[in-house]
């Protein structure tokens, strides 16, 4: 059983209506029809737009401006599946990344004792990998034994947990945009078994954007910079290359399986 996490950004915000229409009219119904029997849950979270005055600070963290989709898979169907290709979009899908993680977080650092009635929730979800050439074990030693302990000192942080990614390729069968050409509508190529590069998905929760800004920008803890850092300040990973992030709410914008349960779950 796996969770599939997809960070969905737009290179051009003018594509927002078209991307939204493509998801609703084509992409989600096609996913449900093809993969519904294997999916336990499938949800979309639209990105929460930050206050305008915070945009310069937030952009340094590889801000994702469209949405996050999360699928809970009972199993991953292997190719071939006898289906047609997905309907391609007529615009660039933009920036972002995807990975697979276990259903439950692999590390729960703090905040599990807080009840929903105590605090509001603004989720800051991040996806990252270590710079090319850095052994994962070395990066993990810094993250788990040094960095996570320092993050917990953020003044407005209310919840903090993380998941190590699973060593899986883009395992869903079918055709996708060619590697390095996301958004190219045609021709699409068959998915390969090339492993996905990402190492962790992490969530840091705050009560609101002021809580995030105080914790991350105004009064951050003193962080230990790793010797292999490829970015000069926190999070020490090059934004929009090795580090992506998105703000979402605690509840999904859309329950995709429920919305499309009228579609026959047959191939």
Are the beta carbons of 130 and 200 closer than 8 angstroms? no
State the sign of the Cα–Cα–Cα–Cα dihedral 172, 175, 180, 181. negative
Q: Worst-scoring range by mean pLDDT, 167-171, 180-184, 186-190, 220-224?
A: 180-184
Residue 164, helix vs strand vs coil: strand
Q: What is the pLDDT of residue 171?
A: 63
Helices (H), 84-223: 136-142, 148-151, 209-213
Give the SS3 label for residue 24.
helix
Closest CA to 57 of 221, 248, 215: 215
* Paired tokens of 129: 């990998």
Q: What tens digit of pLDDT does each residue of 123-139 get? A: 999 999 999 999 999 99
Report, in angstroms and rounded to the nearest whole number, the Rg of the chain calculated over CA atoms.
19
115 burial via Cβ count (<10 Å: 0-12, 13-18, 19+): exposed
pLDDT in tens, 178-207: 555 544 444 555 555 667 899 999 999 999
pLDDT at 264: 43
* Distances, alpha carbon 191 to alpha carbons 24, 131, 179, in Å: 23, 25, 9
Q: What is the pLDDT of residues 134-163, one digit of tens each?
A: 999 999 999 999 999 999 999 999 999 999
Bridge partners (DSSP) of residue 202 are 126, 162
Q: Report how far residue 36's alpha carbon sits from residue 185's, in angstroms, rounded to the nearest whole number.
A: 24
Round to whole Å and give the CA distance between 200 and 189. Answer: 27
* Angle ∠(125,137,149) on CA atoms, nearest 5: 50
- Tell which residue, 266, 198, 257, 207, has the closest CA to residue 44: 257
What integer pLDDT is reported at residue 194 of this predicted model?
66
Which helix (H) or strand (E) segment holds residue 244: the answer is strand 243-248
Global pTM? 0.90
* Residue 131 contacts residue 227 (beta carbons within 8 Å): no
Which pLDDT does position 267 carry in this prediction? 39
Q: Using the predicted structure, report yes or no on whether residue 87 has a pLDDT greater than 90.
A: no
């Amino acid at each position: 059983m796996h969770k599939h996490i997809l960070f969905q950004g737009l290179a051009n915000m003018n594509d927002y209506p078209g991307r939204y229409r493509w998801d609703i009219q084509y992409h989600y119904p096609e996913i449900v029809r093809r993969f519904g029997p294997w999916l336990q849950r499938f949800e979309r979270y639209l990105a929460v737009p930050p206050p305008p005055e915070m945009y310069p600070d937030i952009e340094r963290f590889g801000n994702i401006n469209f949405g996050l989709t999360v699928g809970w898979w009972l199993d991953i169907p292997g190719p071939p599946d006898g289906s047609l290709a997905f309907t391609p979009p007529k615009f660039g899908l933009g920036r972002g990344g995807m990975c697979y993680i276990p259903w439950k977080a692999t590390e729960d650092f703090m905040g599990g004792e807080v009840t929903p009635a105590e605090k509001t929730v603004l989720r800051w979800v991040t996806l990252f990998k270590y710079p090319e050439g850095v052994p994962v074990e070395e990066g993990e030693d810094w993250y788990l034994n040094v960095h996570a302990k320092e993050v917990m000192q953020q003044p407005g942080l209310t919840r903090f947990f993380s998941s190590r990614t699973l060593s899986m390729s883009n395992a869903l069968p079918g055709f996708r945009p060619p590697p390095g050409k996301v958004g190219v509508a045609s021709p699409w190529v068959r998915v390969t078994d090339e492993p996905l590069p990402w190492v962790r998905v992490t969530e840091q929760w705050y009560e609101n954007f002021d809580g995030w800004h105080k914790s991350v920008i105004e009064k951050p803890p003193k962080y230990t910079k790793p010797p292999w850092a490829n970015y000069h300040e926190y999070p020490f990973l090059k934004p929009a290359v090795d580090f992506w992030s998105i703000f979402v709410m605690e509840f999904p914008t859309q329950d995709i399986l429920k919305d499309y349960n009228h579609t026959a779950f047959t191939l």
